[in-house]
Structures are given as structure tokens and as C-alpha cells.
Amino acid sequence: MSLKNALAPFGIWARALARPYTIPVEDIMRAPADRYRGWHTNDAEACIGCGSCSDICQNAAIDMVVNRDATKGDTGLRPMVDYGRCCWCALCVDVCPSGSLGLSSEYTWVDKDPEVFRYVPGVDKKPWDDDTKGWHGGEWDLINHDRVPMSMLPGETRGQTWAEVVLGYSEEEAQREAARCLECGICTAACPAHMHIPEYIGAIRDGNYEQAVNLIYETNPMPEMCGKVCTRRCEDVCAHAKQGEPVAIRWLKRFATERFDDLREVIKADVAPIGVGKRVAVIGGGPSGITVAYYLAIRGFEVNLYEALPTLGGATFFGIPKYRFPMPSLEKQVDMLRGAGVKLHVNSPVDAALFEELRSTHDAVFIGAGLMRGKAMRVEGEDAPGVVNALTFLLEHHLRNNTDSDKVSKEPVVLPGMKVAVVGGGNTAIDAARVSLRLGASEVVISYRRRKEDMPADWEEIEDAEHENIQIDVQAIPLRIEQTPDGRLDLIWGPAEMVADKPGARPKPVLVEGVENHLVVDRIIGAIGQGPNLRWLSPEAQGTIADKWGWIKVNEDGMTGMPGVFAGGDLVNETADAISAIADGLRVVQGIPRWLGLQ
Amino acid sequence: MNEFVQEIQARFEVLWSNPQRPDLMQIGVRQVNALPLLTWLKSNTGYFILNHFSAVDWIEDGEFQLTYLLTDYAARRSLMVCVRIDRAAPTAESVHHLWPEAVTYEQEMFEMFGISFPGSPRQGVDLLLEGWEDIPPMRRDFDTAAFAEEAFGFRPGRTHTNPRDRVAIAFGQKGFLHDH
Amino acid sequence: MTIENPHVEKETQLWVGPQHPGVTGNMAIQVWLTGDTIQRGITHVGYLHRGFEKLMERRKFIQSFPIVCRICVPEPDTNEYLLAASIEELGGITIPEKAVWLRTLVLEMSRLASLVQQIGGGAGATGLGAVPNWTYTLRDYILDSFEELTGGRVYHMYMVYGGVRRDLPVGFAERMEATLRKIEERLPYIDKVTFQSSVWRERTQGVGLTDPAWVKEMGISGPAIRAMGFARDVRRDFPYLAYPELDFSVITSTGGDIYARMEIRRHEVVESIKIIRQVLQKMPKDGPVAAPIPNVFTWRIPTGQTYVRAEASRGEMGYYTVTDGSDKVRRVHVRGASYVHGFAMAERMFEGLNIADLHPTLVSIPTCPPEMER
Ligand SMILES: Cc1cc2nc3c(=O)[nH]c(=O)nc-3n(C[C@H](O)[C@H](O)[C@H](O)COP(=O)(O)OP(=O)(O)OC[C@H]3O[C@@H](n4cnc5c(N)ncnc54)[C@H](O)[C@@H]3O)c2cc1C
Ligand code: SF4
Ligand code: SF4
């Protein structure tokens, strides 16, 4: 043992005079680090009540508690945190799709009452509610908000073919996309038919496609149509849409139904035959009529369906072009009606006399006659030859191409090489433009009064049109149409200025006076909306069930002012899309048995 | 690595092999071959260190899997030997004479899975659980959630509403293929 | 130094623990003594069993992070890393370059914090109260860095599948450097009262011996094996993360006693500091800290099994992870270095040990009950 080593420990005596090594308490009472994970905060207005936070918490520290009414896009629930269990991992924050949840950097809170350590962040006010420090969403997300991309025909060439543009997901893609679902069910509120969305998405994810289509058929007898063209309000409110891309609910439904060439053996209904011996007449073979017919038929009703056109489908047949919703898809769904025993009477327009007969021979009548009248543009020169209404244009086109109807001329309105202008900004305008392109038009221009973001058409449809080189002129108000000396048409339009309207309403386009622009084309297609046409009914009947413009009012069972006469679809609702028509149909499926006292 | 599996195969039947990583080979052998193989590995190869030894419950197959992880530190490679045993009468030969730490592993597996290793010194002596009367808790059919609920529970006053249910009720979600 | 006992034939049975005897955690040693010499001893655990492995079988993959970090108080990050790495391997996830470096950083920070703490613990177990005061302070400085990087001081939950949760905060490197300097400045003082002190050497050299022959029999690792002259270190033998690109030495010694094991830690502190400096310097400045992963609520991983290892301050830590195609693990088995050290090896070391040397011996190995019983 050397002396040096023996004395070594005494070396630290040098520290006797140094500043103490321990830390004064003031030094410790520093602010927490910027990302310190302390008590929760929540922006209760931004929170959508999806419950993802509650699901991810492995300590079961979070309850979803009722805080407000459920609305489309908000379950009205808010998370309540039990700090007897929370371990401040912030997984709840990292999965919060709205980005509303956070952990403040505050962590000291002393109270004698243990019960206070359980509160609804953002609702029960706390001093740290506005703390921007701590652990908040946005900086980095555990949840990937990117959708599995959909393959499509290339934009440059697909204008030359009627083939379906969207190619559909492969099985692997569908399962991957389905796996993105957070299963909160918020989407079901926004779906007019309140389809069982998270359930069927879960079944697709697990590869249980039969179960998926059965879940889909619970509320939708035309799912392949909806899977291809639905307005998908569900996707607008999907939790993922808060910070990224919603789950491709529509494409997943499409995937599930396309798995089966014939659904008749797959769909297994199990309902009481309450309608045996009862007869129902359905007027109109659009989505609303098909819904009423199918679900009543499987309940034992004898259903007679009358359709004026040679084919069922309504506007989904004669309006929606085949590159979006092909005929085989539609036929598959009509087959389901046949399988259910619905008696289909096509080429059978109902008139006033037949209507009265149906009323007397059936226990109930449903009117789902849709909007069969294209609205006029109301500009000077509109009746010039070469100016057509989009609805007529599409109807004739589809009858010519997809039926053996002899009621339409063999020659299309739009011929190869023509330049076409379409006036309007809805789905019908886009469809008319893209159909024109496929008929060989050399150039197609859509002319719309407002801005692009105001277009009622589906944003994906707008994009698709643009990829096909369709030009979109916005803030263009049509003034009049003139014929040029060489037999063409001059669409004269003035620029619009956007002026703020009432709060909550879209800004209004106001004409900038004194400027006139010319768009010289061969054809002009007016696509500014559709309206009801009930002139096939007697004036008395019209007066009983409809207002003076032809819109039908119904009660909560879907029944009109005429007992035993029910209605639904575009004629009734304001949303005028296929799924709303189906939802109307479902209301009547409950309404008719109730009215007949069958429950 | 594959040559080594062939070398093993020449002596003991290898049911399957899987090169999980360049430094990790996995093989499956029959229970009768387990002890001979492990003894051979320990005495004749570089794989003489037992890094880890545990069980997996494949309840749906009616089997337990015993997994032995041996490492050759000179070659920087590991070999995972997997052996399936009958779950109904779970008994396996002890390896405590090869590796002293196996005593604890086998003691723990007896306690947690109910797998017995006859001859292993601390079989049946409590390791982690004192006075445990339920089924061995690491078995898949032991319901931890129910146990926790009963043993600890939630503080009073907790209520949870499932968001999906709330939406379904508020918006009157229905199904039309089935009567409700 | 063993005091001769006139009543050798009488054996005393004694329970040491399960109170927390320092940094060894709650476990008990049942010893049979003649005089103050331990004839034999048995390790008893069960005071900390939380059933973590079972809990993980009932949780989605991501939900296990708040669990695994709690397996080890001083070094939660090794557990986070091993869980992440094993699931990523089975689930086919590759992490971005930046995440590789950030993970290396926290792993080495936690090794450093743990090594520093063990030095204090070792000194404390021999009655030197000042050293733990210093080292716990130093550890707290490291925890400050953890706090600003990860948002948590003790349990960090910094890693997730695909990478890590946050990038370095602005100015982190400078503040980390200041902490590293503080540790370096403190080391000479620690040396003076321990490694250079002949009293302390007397107390620790030739005490708590391990036998190199055991290495052929048992999975000994970490300072315990390096103190017997074996340069075994997972960071070298089975390189992972950014370790292949880092310059560091594997420290060995030959004494196989308390002193040798503590001395290794003392030098590893220096190596660890060296590594942290390199990591902060070489780490890519930009790039994502995490790769996108499947939806954590619904992620399913095909059937598979793997064993992933890393070098913790106590030695080799490994995760045996089994997946079965569902959204939860079928089995996770956590293999901590102490599982071998605390039972099979320690029980051999107890034989002939003076009762007063029991704690210094345990701390020097060291044994960590939370990883022994999970
Ligand atoms: C061009 C175009 C594109 C569209 N794109 C989409 C879209 O992408 N997504 C979407 O969700 N919706 C779209 N819609 C709207 C959707 O097609 C309609 O909302 C839906 O079809 C309305 O269904 P319905 O049952 O009310 O009536 P309709 O589908 O309009 O069907 C009414 C049926 O009744 C028949 N009928 C009318 N009078 C009689 C009578 N007296 N006797 C017998 N039969 C009669 C008609 O021939 C017609 O077949 C589009 C509509 C159009 C016109
Ligand atoms: S995850 Fe976010 S949006 Fe969803 S309920 Fe929780 S706090 Fe609200
Ligand atoms: S921080 Fe972690 S433990 Fe706490 S409520 Fe959120 S998920 Fe649960």
C-alpha cells in the first residue's frame, strides 16, 4: 500500500472550500423542457370525438364522455382522462387525427381530493389549457394520413375510349387501404343511408369479402354503383380528412362488390315475410325505386316496377357515363332485383290513367320518378340549332349506345372534330364535357360562373376532366349566344367578380359590366341543373302531392299528401344524389309496412 | 450457416429451418432429438452458450414450443432451436446439467406455463408467484383482463361511450337484410 | 478479511432484502452463514413481478412501448430499442438514417447514465456516501437532456416503430456537451476516493470473484465477463444501429473481482462520452426521424420469431419476439443480463463470500430484479 494511494482519498478535501456540489432548490425549480409531457389539453371545438385516444391508451385511462349532441362529423363525445392510470406516454396525442389533443408541459398539481385528477381536457378549464409548450400533435404523427393511390387509365389517352377510367384496387391495395380505418364510425353519420362503414371496411381488411358485401347490402342495393360514383359524404368527415386524405371508402366498397360476378348467391337476407299478399307499385327504376323494390320484395311483397326507359338505373343509367359506371355493373344489380322476385316493366311510362289503376290495384304506390327536365340557361339565343341541354344530350347518348331504343336519332349531337362548350359546374357538366370528348370533340371547354373551388362537381371529377385536357373557364357569366356567319356558335360571356354574400354562403358572382368575351364553338351544352317533371300525373294528383314547381313533400314515413302514395329520391330531397335517393327508399321500406300495419 | 444446418441434419432430423438473419438461424426438431442435439451442440460446436430459453403457447395446436437460443460468440452467430411438446402433458427433459442458468428458466416455465422438467432442482419452488392457485398465468387461456378487473378494477364513476354506438343511435343506423 | 468464528458448526440463516439495498432493486438473498461467511445463498425475486410479458400479449404492438421502458429504470431505452427492432424485423419496417443515429444517441445516453449510477452505487455499497451524491447529480444532468429530447425524464417512450418521435431540439448538442464535461470533470474526484484509494482497493480487489471457467457454461455478459478478460460486447460482436461507424474500445480487465468490474465501468464512461460526441457530430442534419408505418390500430404482422440483442450497461439484453399473424404479439421474452448474473452466477459467487461484501458484490455485477422478473 503506497503512501500516495493511502492519502488519495484526502485529495477531495480540496473541495471543502469549493462551492457545494449539491444543487440549490431554486436551480431545480426551472421550467420544464419544451416537450415535457404533462397534463392534457384538448381543443374541444376541433376534437371530433373519434375515440382514437381512448382506444390507444394501453392503461385504459381515457373514457369517452357525452359532451354535446352528435352531428355529422362529430360524435359529441370528448375524452376524459383518469390520472390514476395515465402514464403520460402521449400515444393518445400521437394518434389524435384532429390534432386537437395535447399534453401541456405543466406537471405540478396538488390537491387533497383524488377525484379532481380526472377531467375532460378543454372542457373542464385548467390553467394549462393554452400552454403551447409540451407535446402536441402536428409536429409528427404516428398515423399515416396518405391514401393508397388508385390506378387509372392515363389522362392523355383515355379520352378516346369508353373504358372505365378507374381501374380499382388490387386485393393487397384494398386491404392496405382498409387497414387505415380508425374505426371511429364518424362517417356513418354523414352517409345518408348510415351504412355500416367501419364494419365492412374491417371485413375487407380481414379478407372476409362475403361478410363485407352482406354488411353493405344491409342498407344499399346498388353498392357497385355507389362504389364507383357515390358523392361519398362519408369521406368528407372521415377522421383522416382532418389532417390528410380520408379512407377511400368508396373505392373499398367498389372493391368488395367487384369481387363477385353474381351477388345473388352471396347476399343472405333473413327477414320475416311480412308483405306476403300485399302489392306495391314502384314508378321509376332509379336508385330510390330499386331500393324500395328490393327490400320490400325480400319481405314478401309483390312488387311491380314501372320504368319508362328500356333499362333500369334511372339517372345512374341515362346520366352517369359508362366510363364511370359501366353497364355490366348496373346489370349485376338489376339481376338482384330479379332474384328478389320484383316484376320489372320496362318501356312502361306511367300516365295519369295507369297511375290511378296502380293505386286501386296495389296496397301502396311509390314514386321515384327523378328529375327528368333539364333547366334552361335563360340566355338569349338559347334555341339556336346546336345548343342542347346536357340531360337530353346524355339521355340520348346512352339510349343510342346502350339500348336498342328506336326513339333516338342515329347521329350524335357532337361529332368528331367539333369544338364544344359546356355551361355549368356540376357533375352533369363534367359528364357532358367528358362524353363530348369521347365522341371525338377536338376541344372541350367548361364555362362556369364561379371559382373552381365553388364547383359543385366532385373534386376528383374535376381533376379527371383536367387530366383529359378539358379546359375550365371560371368566373364566366354567359350573356347570349349568336350564330356566326359560317354556321358556328358564339358564346358571349362577361367576366364575374366574386362578392361576399351572407355569412356562411358562397360568394356571389357579379358581372363586370362592359366586357364581352367570345367563345366560338360548334356545340353548346347547357348543364345548369335539373328539375321535376310531373306532367304525366293529372293536375289534381300533382296538386295533392307536389308544390307548384313539382317538388314532392313527404312525411317521416316518406308518404305524400295522398294516402298510400309514397315518394323519394331527387323529387323529394335537396341533395339529389344516388345515395340520398337510396336513403329515401329505405325510409319508405319502413314506411309502407308501418302504414299497412304490418309490424 | 446452411452448411451448419446440414451438419446437424446429418445427425438429427431437422423438421424445418429458417435463416431469419445472416446471424440467426432457426431450426425445428422433434422432442426426442432435443436433448441429444443440445448436448452435441454444447460439447462439439461453438454454440455452447445458452442465451435464452423460454416457451411459447400454441394453444390452437395443442402444443407448447420450447425455444433455446444458442450463440457461437467466436463465429458471431446464433442458432434458435425450436421444439414442440404436447400441451396436454407438458414435460420436457431438463438441460440444467448443461447450463446452470437453465435451473431458473425451467423453474419459471414450470410456474408460468406449467411445463415440468423432471430432475431440474427447483421444480415447483415458487419463483415469482406466491400462493398462486389459478392456471399458470403465461398460458394463453389465462385471462389477464378478467384477473386485473377483479384484482384491481376501475375507480368508481367511470363510464365510457363507444363513439360508433353513439353515432349509430343518434342517427338511427339500421340494417335491412335482417330483422332487428 | 474473514473473522474466525469459534462456532463454525452453527449455521445462521439470514434474509438479506427484499428492501432495496442500493441500486440492486428489490430482491432478497437467503443466505446460510457460518460466522460471517456465506456458505451458500439463493436469490429470491417476485417483489417486482408486473407480468409485462403477458400484458404485451394483450396489446397492439404500439401499446407495448409504455410497458417495456418500465422493465428497467436506469436504462429504459434499451428495452424500447429491442422491442422496436424485433417488431420492425418481423413486420418488415426499415428505419431512416436519422433515426438510426438518434436511437444510437439515446441508447448510449442511457448506458452512460446507468454506468455513472452504478459507479455511485458501487461506491455507496462500500460506504462511500459522497460518490453516489455526485453520480446521481450527474445522472440527473443526463436526465435533463433526456427530458428535452424525449419529453420524459426517466421513462422516455422516445422510440416507435419506424424510428423515433422527435428530432433533436435546437442547441441540444451544446447542452449535451456541457453535461459530458461535467461528468469528465467529476471523474478524477471519483478516482481519488475509489480506484486510487488503497483502502477501497483493499475492500474490492480479490473480492466477489468470478471464475473464467464459468464463461463456457453460462451466458455471462457485460462488465462481468469483460472483467475476466473476455472482450465480449454486443456492440462489437453483433453490431447494430450506428455502432459500426463509431470509434470506441471494448474495455477489459482480468481481476474478475469487484474492483475490475467497477474499473471497467469507469473506463466505459469515457468511451460512452466519446461515442455520444461522435454521434452528435456524425448524425445527418436533416431527413425524417421516422418512416411511415401501418395503422397502429390494425397492424397485423405475419407469423415469425426473432431474437434481437443489444449491449446494455449490465451486459447483453435480448428480446425474443414471436408474432402469429394477428395484431398482437404471441410472445415476448425479455432476456436481461441479470437473469443469468443474478441467479446462476451470483449464487456461485455467494459461496465463501463475507456477508459484508454481499452488497458490493451484487452491485458490482450488477443485478437488476426488474429485468429478472419483468
Ligand atoms: C349526368 C348525371 C350525373 C350524375 N352523377 C352522379 C354521381 O356521380 N353520383 C351520384 O351520387 N349521383 C349522381 N347523379 C345523381 C343521381 O343519379 C340521382 O340523384 C339519382 O339517380 C336519383 O335517383 P331517383 O331514384 O330519385 O331517380 P332517377 O335516377 O332520376 O330515376 C328516375 C327514373 O324514373 C323514370 N321515370 C320518370 N317518370 C316516369 C314515369 N312516369 N313512368 C315510369 N318511369 C318514369 C325515369 O325514366 C328514370 O329512370 C347524377 C345525375 C346525372 C343526371
Ligand atoms: S383522438 Fe383526438 S379527435 Fe379523437 S376523440 Fe381523442 S382528442 Fe378527440
Ligand atoms: S398519455 Fe398515454 S397513458 Fe396517458 S391518457 Fe394518453 S395514452 Fe393513456
Share of chain B above pLDDT 90, in %: 42
How many beta-carbon contacts under 8 Å exist across B and C? Answer: 91
C-beta separation of C294 from C92 below 8 A: no
Contacts of A146 (CB under 8 A, 6+ apart): A244, A245, C292
A378 and A525 co-located in one domain: yes
**B120 lies within 8 A of chain C by CB:** no
What residues are in contact with ligand 2 under a 6 Å CB criterion? A 42, 47-53, 79, 96-98, 100-101
Does the CB atom of residue A57 touch ligand 3 within 6 A?
yes
Q: Nearest C-alpha to atom 5 of ligand 2 is from which residue?
A: A49
Interface test with chain A among C143, C298, C326, by most A beta carbons within 10 Å: C298
**What is the C-alpha separation between A53 and A143, in angstroms, rounded?**
12
Say if A577 falls within a structural domain: yes
Confidence of residue C1 (pLDDT cuts 50, 70, 90): very low
A140/C290 touch (CB, cutoff 8 Å), yes or no: yes
Mean pLDDT value across residues A430-453: 91
- CA distance, residue B21 to nearest chain C CA (Å): 9
A32/C152 touch (CB, cutoff 8 Å), yes or no: no
Q: Does the pLDDT value for residue A514 go beyond 90?
A: no
* Residue A399 domain boundaries: 374-406+413-530
| β strands within chain C, DSSP E | 12-16, 28-34, 37-44, 159-160, 163-164, 304-312, 315-323, 329-335
Per-residue pLDDT of C45-102, as tens digits, reads: 888 888 889 999 999 999 999 999 888 888 899 999 999 999 999 999 999 999 999 9
Q: A15: nearest CA in chain C?
A: C189
C151/A36 touch (CB, cutoff 8 Å), yes or no: yes
Pocket mutation for ligand 1, best pick of A318, A388, A570 (most atoms within 8 Å of C-beta): A570
C-beta separation of A162 from A323 below 8 A: yes
Per-residue pLDDT of B112-161, as tens digits, reads: 999 999 988 888 788 888 888 888 999 999 988 888 888 888 888 888 98
Cα angle for residues B136, B138, B144 (degrees, 5° grid): 95
Interface of C with A in 73-132 (CB under 8 A): 130
Per-residue pLDDT of B41-98, as tens digits, reads: 988 888 988 988 999 999 999 999 999 999 998 899 999 999 999 999 999 989 989 8
**B144 lies within 8 A of chain A by CB:** no
Confidence of residue A342 (pLDDT cuts 50, 70, 90): very high
Q: What is the DSSP string of A265-311?
A: TT---B---TTTT-EEEEE--SHHHHHHHHHHHTTT-EEEEE-SSSS
Helix (H, G, I), strand (E, B) or coil at B20: strand
Per-residue pLDDT of C207-247, as tens digits, reads: 888 888 888 888 888 999 999 999 989 999 999 999 999 99
Q: Does the pLDDT value for residue C129 go beyond 90?
A: no
Per-residue confidence (pLDDT) for residue A459, from 0 to 100? 86
Share of chain A above pLDDT 70, in %: 98
Atom of ligand 2 nearest to the CA of A42: 7
Per-residue confidence (pLDDT) for residue C2, from 0 to 100? 53
Say if A306 falls within a structural domain: yes
**A60 lies within 8 A of chain C by CB:** no
Say if A3 falls within a structural domain: no
Q: Nearest C-alpha to atom 8 of ligand 3 is from which residue?
A: A57
Say if A256 falls within a structural domain: yes
**A295 lies within 8 A of chain B by CB:** yes
Q: Which parts of A403-520 fold into alpha helices (H)?
A: 427-438, 459-467
Return the percent helix, strand and coil in chain B, to nearest 5: 30, 25, 45
- CA distance, residue B90 to nearest chain C CA (Å): 18
Per-residue confidence (pLDDT) for residue C4, from 0 to 100? 59
Mean pLDDT value across residues A130-155: 85
**C47 lies within 8 A of chain B by CB:** no
Interface test with chain C among B73, B115, B147, by most C beta carbons within 10 Å: B73
C-beta separation of A448 from A478 below 8 A: no
Residue A316 CA, ligand 1 centroid: distance in Å: 6
Q: Nearest C-alpha to atom 3 of ligand 3 is from which residue?
A: A86
Say if A14 falls within a structural domain: no
Mean pLDDT value across residues B159-173: 88
Interface of C with B in 196-215 (CB under 8 A): none
A389 and A429 co-located in one domain: yes
Give me the residue label for grid cell 353474381: A262
A99 and A195 co-located in one domain: no
Which CATH number do you get for residue A380? 3.50.50.60
Cα angle for residues A486, A490, A495 (degrees, 5° grid): 160
A223 and A321 co-located in one domain: no
**B20 lies within 8 A of chain A by CB:** no
**C217 lies within 8 A of chain B by CB:** yes
Residue A293 CA, ligand 3 centroid: distance in Å: 50
Per-residue pLDDT of C239-290, as tens digits, reads: 999 999 999 999 988 888 999 999 999 999 999 999 999 999 999 988 899 9
Say if A273 falls within a structural domain: no
Per-residue pLDDT of A534-568, as tens digits, reads: 889 999 988 888 888 889 999 999 999 899 999 99
Atom of ligand 3 nearest to the CA of A56: 7
User: For the purposes of burial, counting CB atoms within 10 Å of the CB of A360, is it exposed (0-12), middle (13-18) or buried (19 or more)?
Assistant: exposed
The yes or no reply on domain B2-142 and CATH 3.20.20.60 is no
Q: What is the ipTM of this complex?
A: 0.89
Cis preceding-peptide flag for C366 (omega within 30 of 0): yes
Share the mean pLDDT of chain A. Answer: 89
Per-residue confidence (pLDDT) for residue A557, from 0 to 100? 92
Give the pairing type, strands A471-473 and A443-447. parallel
Per-residue confidence (pLDDT) for residue A169, from 0 to 100? 93
Per-residue confidence (pLDDT) for residue B1, from 0 to 100? 58
If we measure between CA atoms, which residue out of A76, B118, B106, A156 comes closest to residue C344?
B106
Region(s) of chain B under CATH 3.30.460.80: 2-142
Residue A90 CA, ligand 3 centroid: distance in Å: 5
A337 and A252 co-located in one domain: no
Q: Does the pLDDT value for residue C128 go beyond 80?
A: yes
The domain total for chain A is 4
Q: Chains with ≥3 Cβ pairs under 8 A against C?
A: A, B
A389 and A464 co-located in one domain: yes
Boundary (domain end) residue, out of A238, A265, A292: A265
A386 and A250 co-located in one domain: no
Q: Nearest C-alpha to atom 35 of ligand 1 is from which residue?
A: A284
- CA distance, residue B48 to nearest chain A CA (Å): 40
A130 and A166 co-located in one domain: no
Share the mean pLDDT of chain C. Answer: 88
Interface test with chain A among B164, B165, B178, by most A beta carbons within 10 Å: B164
Q: Does the pLDDT value for residue A1 go beyond 60?
A: no
**B151 lies within 8 A of chain A by CB:** no
Per-residue confidence (pLDDT) for residue C317, from 0 to 100? 92
Which CATH number do you get for residue A223? 1.10.1060.10
Length of chain C: 374
Picking from B23, B104, B144, the nearest residue to C343 by CB comes out as: B104
Per-residue pLDDT of B60-75, as tens digits, reads: 999 999 999 999 988 9
**What is the C-alpha separation between A80 and B108, in angstroms, rounded?**
40
Pocket mutation for ligand 2, best pick of A40, A45, A100 (most atoms within 8 Å of C-beta): A100
C46/B138 touch (CB, cutoff 8 Å), yes or no: no
Contacts of C46 in chain B (CB under 8 A): 126-130
Per-residue pLDDT of A362-374, as tens digits, reads: 999 999 998 888 8
User: For the purposes of burial, counting CB atoms within 10 Å of the CB of A456, is it exposed (0-12), middle (13-18) or buried (19 or more)?
Assistant: middle
Q: Nearest C-alpha to atom 6 of ligand 2 is from which residue?
A: A53
A101 and A192 co-located in one domain: no
Share of chain A above pLDDT 90, in %: 47
Measured from the alpha carbon of residue A141, the closest ligand is 2
Going from the C-alpha of B145 to that of each of A481, A579, B151, C56, the distances in angstroms are 75, 42, 10, 12
Confidence of residue C20 (pLDDT cuts 50, 70, 90): low
**What is the C-alpha separation between B4 and A15, in angstroms, rounded?**
61
Picking from B69, B80, B129, the nearest residue to C46 by CB comes out as: B129
A499 and A360 co-located in one domain: no
Which CATH number do you get for residue A93? 3.30.70.3270
First to last CA, chain C: 36
Per-residue confidence (pLDDT) for residue C8, from 0 to 100? 55
B103/C316 touch (CB, cutoff 8 Å), yes or no: no
A222 and A359 co-located in one domain: no
C193/A12 touch (CB, cutoff 8 Å), yes or no: yes
Measured from the alpha carbon of residue A185, the closest ligand is 2
Domains, chain C, in order of start with CATH, read 54-372 (1.10.645.10)
Return the C-alpha cell found at A47.
376534437
If we measure between CA atoms, which residue out of A71, A72, A79 comes closest to residue A51?
A79
Mean pLDDT value across residues A488-511: 85
Contacts of C332 in chain B (CB under 8 A): none
**What is the C-alpha separation between C28 and C26, in angstroms, rounded?**
7
Give bridge partners of residue C159 from the DSSP assignment: C164
A137 and A252 co-located in one domain: no
**A27 lies within 8 A of chain C by CB:** no
